[in-house]
Amino acid sequence: MRCPCYPAPPGDQASVGLFALRVMMGTAFVLHGWPKIQNPTGWMGTESGVPGAFQAVAAAAEFGGGIALALGVLTRFAALGVAAVMVGALAMVHIPRGDPFVAKPGSPSAETAAVYLACATLFLLAGPGRFSLDACLFGRSARSEPPRPIDNGG
């Protein structure tokens, strides 16, 4: 039985693309999450109305999820956390403010949150690819399992 953390790997070319996207996106989330993790329960400020516990979960999802994505470890869980944060950003900030998808330079837009959400969805569905710690931890045992004989009741 294959581990849900590591789906059947794509080919080498697709894995190179997933690797590049994972490392870049993970690094971006570590950098976005670092200042938030310094003040995990108050980084949004008191006027936001978001409870400190939710702020801490979002900070941990960005920072910890970024590390996990960059390394390709527990990638699907990290992607789920990042996706949840991006849905929150879109629902609580960009959509209520009426931000356009793409704005003039220097103006707020929903573009970055939407693209990160799409990338997180990719990792949720496709997994991390062959070049990841998930492949090292979960891929070999799943591939080395011999096929089970069919039991036809006799």
Show pLDDT as tens, one digit a residue, over the chain (154 residues).
566 666 677 788 999 999 999 999 999 999 999 999 999 999 998 888 889 999 999 999 999 999 999 999 999 999 999 999 999 999 999 999 999 999 999 899 999 999 999 999 999 999 999 999 988 888 754 444 444 556 666 5
Compute the chain's Rg from CA coordinates.
Answer: 19
CA distance 23 to 60: 18
Model pTM score: 0.83
3-class secondary structure, 3 = coil
Q: How many helices (H) and strands (E) does the chain have?
A: 7, 0
